[in-house]
């Protein structure tokens, strides 16, 4: 039987229906990315709690999603597909003084401060997955997958590693002999 398994904890729990979406159309969940996220949830379980704005100055309020909107939308579609799942999901309750502050938190949580590059993705993943599994399972805004495949998967791994090593080698100044 296909089912969603919870594999994380929060500081509280909530039913999907209690989680209000306040980000509007900030992000789009395409059918392709819905399938990827659904497959990740089924394969790895529900591994990250929802972040909710559920307190104002320490006092409880309705649970508005700060992080997890796409997961909620995916789980609702999965329910429509009759996929079994728990009634309650883990949440992390976050205190914000007002909606403006809560929406700024959404922007902060949606930001990607660390930069993903083709090189770093290949270095991290090449011994974990083949290109097909990587491109079918994950989505990276910073990576154009066709370009990534051409640059890294159309070459033997040794050739890619040789090119990376050449780029990292220090160069010597022909005039003074200092490595730069």
Over residues 87-102, mean pLDDT: 96
Predicted local confidence at residue 89, as pLDDT: 98
pLDDT, the chain, mean = 89
- Strands 59-67 and 50-56, how do they pair? antiparallel
Write the burial class of residue 73 (CB in 10 Å: 0-12 exposed, 13-18 middle, 19+ buried). Answer: middle
Residues 64 and 118 in one domain: no
Predicted local confidence at residue 42, as pLDDT: 97
Residues 128 and 178 in one domain: yes
Task: Give the highest mean pLDDT range of 46-55, 129-138, 145-154.
Answer: 46-55
Predicted local confidence at residue 51, as pLDDT: 98
Domain extent, residue 93, equals 1-111
pLDDT 10s digits, 140-166 = 988 999 999 999 887 655 555 565 555
From 66, 81, 111, the end of a domain falls on 111
Three-state DSSP at 156 gives coil
Determine contact, residues 70/37, Cβ cutoff 8 Å. Answer: yes
- Measured in whole angstroms, the distance separating CA 103 from the mean position of its chain's CA atoms is 19
Residues 73 and 138 in one domain: no
Determine contact, residues 48/10, Cβ cutoff 8 Å. Answer: no
Query: Which residues, listed in sequence order, are joined to residue 21 by a DSSP beta bridge?
Result: 65
From 77, 111, 145, the end of a domain falls on 111
Among 132, 26, 110, 29, smallest CA distance to 71 is for 29
Predicted local confidence at residue 95, as pLDDT: 95
Residues 175 and 95 in one domain: no
Residues 101 and 174 in one domain: no
Among 155, 89, 143, smallest CA distance to 118 is for 143
Predicted local confidence at residue 174, as pLDDT: 63
Task: Give the Cα separation of 36 and 126 in Å (integer).
Answer: 19
- Strands 50-56 and 88-95, how do they pair? parallel
Determine contact, residues 179/170, Cβ cutoff 8 Å. Answer: yes
């Amino acid at each position: 039987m296909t089912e969603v398994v919870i594999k994380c904890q929060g500081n509280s729990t909530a039913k999907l229906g209690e989680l209000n979406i306040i980000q509007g159309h900030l992000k789009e969940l395409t059918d392709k990315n819905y399938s990827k996220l659904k497959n990740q949830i089924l394969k790895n379980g529900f591994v990250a709690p929802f972040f909710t704005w559920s307190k104002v100055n320490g006092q409880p309020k309705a649970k508005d999603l700060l992080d997890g909107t796409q997961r909620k939308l995916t789980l609702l579609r999965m329910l429509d597909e009759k996929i079994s799942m728990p009634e309650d999901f883990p949440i992390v309750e976050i205190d914000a003084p007002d909606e403006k502050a809560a929406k700024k938190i959404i922007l902060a949580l949606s930001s990607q401060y660390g930069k993903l590059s083709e090189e770093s993705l290949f270095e991290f993943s090449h011994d974990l997955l083949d290109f097909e599994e990587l491109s079918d399972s994950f989505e990276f805004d910073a990576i154009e997958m066709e370009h990534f495949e051409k640059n890294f998967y159309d070459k033997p791994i040794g050739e890619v590693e040789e090119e990376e090593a050449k780029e990292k080698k220090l160069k010597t100044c022909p005039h003074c002999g200092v490595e730069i």
